[in-house]
Amino acid sequence: MIRASVRDALSRIQSAFPRREDLETLLSLSDPDETSYLHAKACAVRNTYCQERIAVRALIEISSVCKNSCNYCGLNRYNGEASRYTMSNNEVLKSGKLAASQGFMTVVLQSGENGRTTESIAQLIAQIKQEFPIAVSLSLGEHPYEDYLAWKRAGADRYLLRIESTDEDFYRSLHTDRSLSTRLECLAHLRRLGYQAGSGIMVGVPGQSISTIARDIQFFSENQFAMIGIGPFIPHPQTPLAKCPGGDPLLTLNTIAVTRIATKYPWMPATTALGSLNRDYRMEGLMAGANVIMPNFTPQRYKSQYAIYPNKQSRAETPESLEHLGKSANLAIDYGRCDSLLPEWNTCTPIA
Ligand code: SAH
């Protein structure tokens, strides 16, 4: 049985700017009939706006060095027990080559902040673009405008920078030496430079409420991102949040579904974190409206060192395992670039 109030909230968030109360109603659903209804609606919206397919992106975690101090992340600079590595450009190129040879048309380069110089990253991007006809997404954290400019000029296509939270006080509580305004400024710079911009949040970070998540979804709806990553918070034992409970899988799935319905177009991964809980929830993520899988192409010897949270499942995937995921979710695997689906994307000003 689906309550009329749930049906009404769903149809309102589909057709107009989402009201906070409606988002909260839908995020809070726990009755199995109602959550199935919500997740099925999200899949229908995804299939209409993004087609019935899963984009695949090859993830390479290029460095675990970080000068930042995010309270939730195992790579924060105060974690003296974290192992730190930085892949050489040749090593990254080798991983990129492997991904390209398997048909991947996107690599995502992710790292902590300040693992390598601006110049060496620019060189790396240029080398990748020269050798392989693939899209390059960056996920390297907050940097000055000049860095983003250098990397765009070198050929980078996309940039992922999760907002983490739109609540200023909550944001500061998670990032003692950072402010929400800097994060927003970085996202504005990325857009101005013509990057396909991605954002997102974790679900279940201590101090976050349903109402915080609802406001974050309003932010996504207002600002339209090409990509939105949503995953559960997983406590890392060497962080200040070690003793806190992890994010709830159902609330994470509801957040994916509600975000899909409210924002329609973004590429949304069934995140690695969703696949790293007591079991692999990525399939449920796809069944709640997600449409990206990111196989891990970080060389084996570095995988365990990129420990943003414990037991991270860095699955490489095979064409068969991807086909299997696709079939089970009734979606085709799309090995293409899968660029932004936002209607206004083509009108973004490219940089000189
Ligand atoms: N340094 C880059 C990449 C960070 S890792 C950046 O700042 O953007 C990518 C994402 O992993 C983060 O944005 C965060 O939302 C998520 N993450 C970090 N620690 C986590 C944890 N303990 N549990 C779940 N997700 C986490």
Tell me if 16 is assigned to some domain.
no
List, in sequence order, every residue forming a beta bridge with 137; answer none if it has no partner.
108, 158
SS3 283: helix
Task: Give the ligand 1 atom nearest the CA of 308.
Answer: 19
Confidence of residue 114 (pLDDT cuts 50, 70, 90): confident
Gap between the Cα atoms of 174 and 207, Å rounded: 9
Tell me if 8 is assigned to some domain.
no
Predicted local confidence at residue 37, as pLDDT: 98
Task: Tell me the per-residue pLDDT of 284-324, one tens digit each, with 9 for 90 and over.
Answer: 999 999 999 999 999 999 999 999 999 999 999 999 999 99
Predicted local confidence at residue 350, as pLDDT: 44
Tell me if 13 is assigned to some domain.
no
Distances (CA, A) of 184 to 133, 151, 190: 31, 19, 10
Tell me if 330 is assigned to some domain.
yes
Whose alpha carbon is nearest atom 6 of ligand 1? 141
Gap between the Cα atoms of 277 and 311, Å rounded: 8
Which domain covers residue 247, as residue numbers?
21-338
Task: Give the ligand 1 atom nearest the CA of 162.
Answer: 13
Mean pLDDT score, 161-169? 98
Distance of CA 141 from the midpoint of ligand 1 (Å): 9
Gap between the Cα atoms of 323 and 331, Å rounded: 9
Confidence of residue 13 (pLDDT cuts 50, 70, 90): very high
Task: Tell me the per-residue pLDDT of 20-54, one tens digit each, with 9 for 90 and over.
Answer: 999 999 999 999 999 999 999 999 999 999 999 99
Task: Tell me the per-residue pLDDT of 202-242, one tens digit each, with 9 for 90 and over.
Answer: 999 999 999 999 999 999 999 999 999 999 999 999 999 99
| Structure-model confidence comparison of residues 349 and 22, the more confident one | 22
Gap between the Cα atoms of 257 and 290, Å rounded: 8
> Is residue 347 predicted with pLDDT exceeding 80?
no
Confidence of residue 349 (pLDDT cuts 50, 70, 90): very low
Predicted local confidence at residue 341, as pLDDT: 98
Task: Tell me the per-residue pLDDT of 263-283, one tens digit each, with 9 for 90 and over.
Answer: 999 999 999 999 999 999 999
Mean pLDDT score, 158-172? 98
> b vs e for 51-79, b when ≥16 Cβ sit within 10 Å of the residue's Cβ?
eebbbbbbbbbbbbbbebbbbbbbbbbeb
Predicted local confidence at residue 351, as pLDDT: 44
Domain count, the chain: 1
| Ligand 1 site residues, Cβ closer than 6 angstroms | 72-73, 110, 112-113, 139, 141, 161-162, 164, 202, 231, 233-234, 236, 273, 308-309
- Inter-residue contact 110 to 59 (CB < 8 Å): yes
Tell me if 7 is assigned to some domain.
no
Tell me if 345 is assigned to some domain.
no
Distance of CA 243 from the midpoint of ligand 1 (Å): 18
Tell me if 9 is assigned to some domain.
no
Average pLDDT, the chain: 96
Confidence of residue 346 (pLDDT cuts 50, 70, 90): low
Task: Give the ligand 1 atom nearest the CA of 246.
Answer: 23
> Is residue 133 predicted with pLDDT exceeding 60?
yes
| E strands present in the chain | 53-56, 58-63, 106-111, 135-139, 158-160, 196-203, 227-232, 292-293, 332-334
- CATH number of the CATH domain containing 49: 3.20.20.70
Tell me if 2 is assigned to some domain.
no
Task: Tell me the per-residue pLDDT of 52-61, one tens digit each, with 9 for 90 and over.
Answer: 999 999 999 9
pTM for this one? Answer: 0.97
- Rounded percentage of the chain residues whose pLDDT exceeds 70: 98
Distance of CA 9 from the midpoint of ligand 1 (Å): 31
